[in-house]
Amino acid sequence: MRSFLLRRLLLNVPVLLGVVTLVFSFIHLVPGDPVQIMLGEGAQAADVEQLRRKLGLDQPVLVQYGRYIWDLLHGRLGTSFRFGEPVSQIILSRYPATLQLATLSLCFGASLAIPVGVLAAARPGSWIDRLLTSATLLGISLPNFVSGPAAIILFSVVLGWLPVSGRGGPAHFVLPAVTLGASLSAILTRMVRAGMIEELQEEYVKTARSKGLTETTVLLKHALRNSLIPVVTVLGLQFGTLLAGAIITETIFAWPGVGRLTVQAINSRDYPLVQGCLLAIAFTYVTVNLLTDLAYGLLDPRIKYR
Amino acid sequence: MNLFAILRAVGSNRLALFGTAAGTLLILVALLAPVLTPFAFESQNLPLRLRPPSAAHWFGTDELGRDILSRVVYGTRISMSVGFSVVLVSSLVGLLAGSLAGYYGGWFDEALMRIVDILLAFPGILLAIALVAFWGPGLEKLIFALVSVGWVGYARLVRGQILKVRELDFVRAARSLGASNARIILRHLIPNIIQPILVQASIGMAGAILAEASLSFLGLGVPPPLPSWGAMLNDGRSHLFDAPYLVLFPGAATMLAVLAFNFLGDGLREVLNPRLQSGSRIAR
C-alpha cells in the first residue's frame, strides 16, 4: 500500500510540473505587453516599468520560470494586482466556499442518482426505465447557465421560497448546489442503472434470489453494493467537472468562491490571480483523482495495491 | 458498415432520428438566417426596449430594443459554425496525432501521452477559459482555444482504437503484401475505426456548442454585437425579475442544440455498437 501510494504520488510529479509550466507560460500568450494591458492604455511609463519589475517580467524567461517554481515551492503565488494582497491568501479565503459547494453538489447528485438508477434498473425497458433514462439525457443537456436562472425565476422570483444569491444560511446552498449537481446526478443515474443491470445478471444474484431473499434485499444489499464501485471512479472524474462548472454557478449565484474569483480576476486582467486560481483548481482535481484511486482499492478487495 | 447502412440504422433508432431531425433543423435555421429574421440582429430601437413577446416581436426585445427572435436565429449561426469548426479541426488533429502514436509507438507516443496527461489535469472547459482569458476575446481565438482542448479526446480514442486494430490479420496481410505505412493507416486502419470517432464527433459537437455558450456567458466568447446564446443569457440575467423572456429563448435554443447532438451521439453509439448500451460519454 505504501509503495503504491509513493509510486502514484511520484507519477503525479511530472503532470503537476507540466501544469505549472503551462500556467506559467500563459502570461506570455497575452497579445502585446501584459503589463500595459493590466494597467490600461493611459498608464504612465514609470508605473508600467515598476509593475514589470515587481512581476519579474523584466527578467529573461528562464529566470522568470525558475523564480516561479521556487516561489511556488515556498507557497508564494505572487501578489494580486487588483486586491494588493498575496494571491495565495486570497485563494485560501475563497477556497472553502468552493469546496463546500462542490461537495454538497456531489452529495446531492449521488443521493438522487442512486435511488433513481436502482429504480430504472429494477425493470429495464419498462416505461419507468424509459422515462427516467430520457430524463437523464435532458438533465445532462441542460447547461447550468440555463437551469440556474430558470431556478431563480421559479423558486426565488415566483414562489419566493429561496434566496436569489449569496452565501449565508442553509437556504442559500439549495439553488447553487442543485444547479451544479443536476447534470452530475443525471450522469451518475445512467452509471448506476448500467452497473445494476450488469450486476443483476451475475451468478451471485441468482443464488440470492434462489435462497428466497426479497427483491429489495437482492437489489439493495447485493447488486447495488457491487455496482457502486465504478461509480466511485466517475465521482472522482466528475469532481473536476464540478470545479469547472462552479465557475459558472458561482457567477450566477454570486457565490464567493474560487470560481467567481477566477472570472473577476479575468475581467480585471489580474494575471497573477488568474494563474493562481487555475493552479488551485487543477491541483485540487489531481488530488481528488489520487484519492479516488486509493478509495477504489479500499472498496474493491479484488484490487491489490502493488 | 457503409454510409448507406449507417443512415438506415440511424433511421431505425428513435434517439438518433430525433437528433438528426433537430440537428438538420438547426443547420437550416443557421443557413437561412437572413430569410427567417424579421429584423437585423444588431439594429437597436431604444423606445421599444424590453418589450414582452408580441405579434411584431415574437420573442420580445432586449434592453437595447433589439429583436430577440432575430438574435436567437443568428445565434444559431455562431453556435453551428463554432461547433462544426471545433469538431472538424479537433478530430483531424486528434486523428493525425492518435494514429501516428498508436501505429508507430515509441517516443512520439510517449510524448503525446504526457501532453494528454497534462491537458487532462485541467477539468472541463477550464483550460479553454484560461486560454481565452490570456488571448483575449474573439471568434477565431475562441475556436482555437476549444480546439486546443478538444483534440485530446480524439487523440486518445484514436490511439486506443489503432492499438487494437493494428495487430489484426487483415493489417498483417496488407503489410505482408507490401503496403506502405501511410497506405495501411489511411486505407486499412482509419476506415475501421471511424465509427467510434463519429460518435465522439457528435457528442463533441454538443460539447463545443455548450463550451461556446459557457464562454460567451462569462463574457469571454464572441464579442458584441455578434449574437451568441450564452452572451444573451448573461445579458438577460439582470432582468430575471422584470423580463424573464430574455433568458427563456436563448436558454431553450442552447438546450435544444445540446440535446440534439447528444441524442444523435447516443443513438449512433447504440446503432453502431449494440453491445455498448450502457455508460455515458455525453458532453456537458
| pLDDT value of residue B279 | 42
pLDDT of residue A306 exceeding 70, the answer is no
User: Which residues of B are less than 8 Å from A187 in CB distance?
Assistant: 280, 282, 284
B71 to chain A, closest Cα gap in Å:
17
Distance between CA B100 and CA B102 in Å, rounded? 6
Distance between CA B29 and CA B35 in Å, rounded? 9
Distance between CA B30 and CA B9 in Å, rounded? 27
Distance between CA B110 and CA B207 in Å, rounded? 27
C-beta separation of A195 from A122 below 8 A: no
Choose the mutation target among A129, A147, A201, A248 for the interface with B, i.e. most B CBs under 10 Å: A248
Distances (CA, A) of B216 to B75, B149, B206, B209: 11, 17, 15, 11
A170 to chain B, closest Cα gap in Å:
23
| pLDDT value of residue B276 | 45
Chain B, residues 2-31, CB within 8 A of chain A, namely 15
pLDDT of residue B283 exceeding 70, the answer is no
* B61 phi, psi to nearest 5 deg: -125, 155
Q: Do A266 and B118 touch (CB under 8 A)?
A: no
> What's the predicted TM-score (pTM) here?
0.86
CATH for B15-38+58-283? 1.10.3720.10
Which pLDDT band, with edges at 50, 70 and 90, does A227 fall under?
A: confident
Chain-wide mean pLDDT for chain B? 83
C-beta separation of B273 from A183 below 8 A: no
Distance between CA B282 and CA B127 in Å, rounded? 19
| pLDDT value of residue B87 | 95
User: Which residues of B are less than 8 Å from A140 in CB distance?
Assistant: 262, 280, 282, 284
| pLDDT value of residue A277 | 93
Lowest mean pLDDT among A269-283, B54-68, B210-224: B54-68
Average pLDDT over residues B123-141: 86
| Boundaries of every domain in chain A | 17-73, 90-299
Which pLDDT band, with edges at 50, 70 and 90, does A93 fall under?
A: very high
| pLDDT value of residue B177 | 87
Chain B, residues 75-114, CB within 8 A of chain A, namely 114
3-class DSSP state for residue A282? helix
Distances (CA, A) of A280 to A1, A197, A247, B251: 27, 38, 13, 31
Q: Do B218 and A263 touch (CB under 8 A)?
A: yes
| pLDDT value of residue B226 | 83
Chain-wide mean pLDDT for chain A? 84
CATH for A90-299? 1.10.3720.10
B245 to chain A, closest Cα gap in Å:
10
ipTM comes to 0.82
| pLDDT value of residue A241 | 82
- Which grid coordinates are listed for B168? 489484426
Chain B, residues 165-184, CB within 8 A of chain A, namely none
pLDDT of residue B149 exceeding 70, the answer is yes
Can you list the alpha helix ranges (DSSP code H) found in chain A? 2-26, 34-39, 45-55, 61-73, 87-122, 127-141, 144-151, 171-199, 203-210, 215-217, 224-252, 258-267, 271-299
Helix (H) or strand (E) holding A141: helix A127-141
| pLDDT value of residue B1 | 61
Lowest mean pLDDT among A8-12, A149-153, A302-306, B159-163: A302-306
Q: Do A145 and B214 touch (CB under 8 A)?
A: yes
> Residue B16: beta bridge partners?
none
The contacts of residue A15 (CB under 8 Å, 6+ apart) are: A286, B117, B118, B121
pLDDT of residue A261 exceeding 90, the answer is yes
